[in-house]
């Protein structure tokens, strides 16, 4: 499947791009993270502590164990600091 992946805040800076399109067969978010981390060091470093990160699937907050079936947009970011 084709996924649009978005990165925000320090994660965007560490990975070096705000978004990218990825072809993957990952079943869950955690599988996708493992796949990206295996690709290049900058991903492995950025994703080294998942407890410091949040994920949204099609613009809804989700868990790293969530399945990717039917998902088009995945966003990774640090905990939000609005207000």
Partner 1 sequence: MEIRVQSDPFDFGRECAAFGAGRQDIGAIVTFCGIVRGQDQGQLHQMEIEHYPGMTERALTQIAQDAQRRWALSDCLIIHRYGPLAPGEKIMMVATASAHRADAFAAADFLMDYLKSRAPFWKKETRADGSDWVAAKASDEAALTRW
Residue 30 binds to partner 1 (criterion: CB under 8 A): no
* 34 and 43 Cβ atoms separated by less than 8 Å: no
3-class SS string, 10-36 = HHHHHHCCCEEEEECCCCEHHHHHHHH
- Which CB, 9 or 27, lies closer to partner 1? 9
Among positions 51, 59, 69, 70, the unique one binding partner 1 when judged by CB under 8 A: 59
The answer to whether residue 78 forms part of the interface with partner 1 (CB under 8 A) is yes
Question: What tokens does 4 get?
Answer: 């649009």
Give residues in contact with partner 1 (CB under 8 A): 6, 8-10, 12, 56, 59-61, 75, 77-83
């Amino acid at each position: 499947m084709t996924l649009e992946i978005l990165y925000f805040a320090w994660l965007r800076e560490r990975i070096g791009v705000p978004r990218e399109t990825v072809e993957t067969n990952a079943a869950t978010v955690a599988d996708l993270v493992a796949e990206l981390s295996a690709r290049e060091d900058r991903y492995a470093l950025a994703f080294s502590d998942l407890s410091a990160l949040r994920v949204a699937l099609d613009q809804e907050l989700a868990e790293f164990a969530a399945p990717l079936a039917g998902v088009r947009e995945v966003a990774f970011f640090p905990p939000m600091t609005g207000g």
